[in-house]
């Protein structure tokens, strides 16, 4: 990260909160924590454009926990809504009807269902038009607000309501998680980054860095979901930390197409240590471990880090016995 960052340690996190306590999200929700941190960096002048999803339930008319601005849109159209808000602000400022000091940062906030699937058509258009906006995806790897159905962000081996582990399909989901980071990068978005709430300084610096770059900026936050994944809500940040330590969720950024890893685990923790923390993967270990499936997941992670290490000359130690 840039040495000029104002964020050296977590003590530098802004004290002001723009998200009040007592919202209606589930206990331990990683998504609402990401919104809270994101807002701290951006400050008070923010227009949030929200597609239907988990985050929508934070707004229960006439009450709102957000001390800024919120526009709710249909599932597929949040980036189109962002275009309208950005254009309106630019027009009003240009005409002198709004002081430049009252300009707002425009932020789309969605779950993976909209980011990876239903809303991607509008997103692709916004990227192509080089819309100057932030896109924060709280990725809980399923359609969490409607019962935890599979999305194209759902990882291999996870059990969801539409890909349950059964006798006929003992592994649950057999598809592979879509790489949204690469999808945005190859569309030439100027800034793309992954986040984890467990790595706060990395999170803060990336949001800060995005503010120096004009154009579309994607942030994919690994948003732990106690309700859908099946673990104690108090462990959310620990689960988010473990997924980084196993290498399943790499922390990285792309600036004008050039990728750099911003945190590199020196020694990867075996993936099974992460998988065992959640009920959605329980079928991989009970009544007996499905070692072939676990090996597939580990091999995918190993292959990723071998390529990353070669490309960036990184020192990464794979788990003992890794293939």
Q: Is the pLDDT of residue 115 over 50?
A: yes
SS3 for 116-161, per residue? HHHCHHHHHHHHHCCCCEEEEEEECCCEHHHCCECCCCCCCCCCCC
Mean pLDDT value of segment 162-167: 97
pLDDT of residue 23: 83
Residue 322: its pLDDT value, please? 59
Nearest-angstrom CA–CA distance, 156 and 276: 14
Q: What is the CATH number of domain 10-266?
A: 3.40.50.970
Q: pLDDT tens-digit profile of 254-292?
A: 999 999 999 999 999 999 999 999 999 999 999 999 999
What is the band of 62 on the pLDDT scale with cuts at 50, 70, 90?
A: confident
Query: In this model, does residue 320 exceed pLDDT 80?
Result: no
**Residues in contact with 14: Cβ distance below 8 Å, sequence separation at least 6, in sequence order:** 40, 41, 43
3-state secondary structure of 79: helix
Percentage above 90 pLDDT, the chain: 93
Cα–Cα distance for residue pair 5/33, rounded to 1 Å: 22
* Predicted local confidence at residue 323, as pLDDT: 58
Rounded Cα distance between 308 and 242, Å, is: 19
The yes-or-no verdict on residue 57 having pLDDT over 90 is no
Give the pLDDT confidence score for residue 54 in this predicted structure: 93
In contact, 76 and 51? CB cutoff 8 Å: yes
Cα gap 226→278, rounded to integer Å: 8
- pLDDT digit string, tens, across residues 220-246: 999 999 999 999 999 999 999 999 999
Structure tokens at 272: 């099974």
The predicted-structure confidence for 188-200, as pLDDT tens digits, reads as follows 999 999 999 999 9
Q: How many helices (H) and strands (E) would you count in the chain?
A: 10, 8
Confidence of residue 20 (pLDDT cuts 50, 70, 90): confident
Q: At what angle do helices 78-94 and 120-128 cross, to 10 degrees?
A: 40
CB 74 within 8 A of CB 50: no
User: What pLDDT does residue 24 have?
Assistant: 86
Q: Is the pLDDT of residue 124 over 50?
A: yes
**Strands, DSSP E only, in the chain?**
46-51, 69-73, 105-111, 133-139, 191-196, 216-222, 251-255, 258-263
On whether the CB atoms of residues 278 and 239 are closer than 8 A, the answer is yes
Tell whether the model's pLDDT for residue 2 goes beyond 60.
no
**pLDDT in the model for residue 22:** 79
Q: Is the pLDDT of residue 107 over 60?
A: yes
pTM of the full structure:
0.96
Answer whether residue 39 shows pLDDT above 50: yes
pLDDT for residue 1: 43
């Amino acid at each position: 990260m840039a040495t000029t960052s104002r964020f050296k340690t977590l003590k530098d996190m802004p004290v002001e909160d723009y998200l009040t306590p007592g919202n209606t999200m589930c206990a331990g929700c990683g998504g609402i924590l990401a919104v809270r941190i994101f807002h701290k960096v951006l400050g008070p002048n923010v227009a949030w454009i929200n597609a239907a999803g988990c985050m929508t339930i934070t707004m229960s008319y006439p009450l709102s926990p957000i001390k800024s601005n919120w526009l709710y849109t249909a599932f597929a159209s949040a980036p189109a809504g962002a275009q309208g808000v950005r254009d309106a602000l630019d027009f009003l400022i240009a005409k002198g009807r709004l002081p430049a000091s009252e300009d707002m940062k425009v932020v789309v906030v969605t779950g993976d269902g909209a980011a990876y699937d239903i809303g991607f058509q509008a997103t692709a258009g916004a990227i192509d038009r080089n819309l100057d906006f932030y896109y924060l995806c709280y990725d809980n790897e399923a359609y969490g607000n409607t019962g935890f159905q599979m999305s194209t962000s759902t990882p291999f081996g996870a059990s969801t309501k539409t890909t349950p582990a059964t006798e006929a399909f003992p592994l649950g989901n057999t598809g592979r998680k879509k790489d949204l980071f690469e999808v945005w990068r190859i569309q030439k978005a100027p800034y793309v980054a992954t986040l984890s709430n467990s790595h706060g300084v990395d999170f803060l610096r990336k949001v800060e860095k995005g503010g120096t770059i004009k154009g579309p900026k994607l942030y994919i936050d690994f948003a732990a979901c106690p309700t859908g994944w099946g673990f104690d809500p108090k462990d959310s940040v620990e689960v988010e930390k473990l997924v980084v330590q196993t290498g399943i969720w790499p922390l990285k950024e792309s600036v004008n197409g050039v990728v750099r890893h911003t945190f590199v685990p020196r020694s990867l923790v075996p993936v099974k240590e992460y998988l065992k923390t959640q009920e959605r993967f329980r079928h991989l270990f009970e009544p007996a471990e499905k070692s072939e499936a676990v090996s597939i997941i580990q091999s995918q992670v190993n292959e990723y880090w071998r390529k990353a290490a070669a490309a960036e000359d990184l020192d990464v130690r794979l788990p003992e016995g890794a293939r």
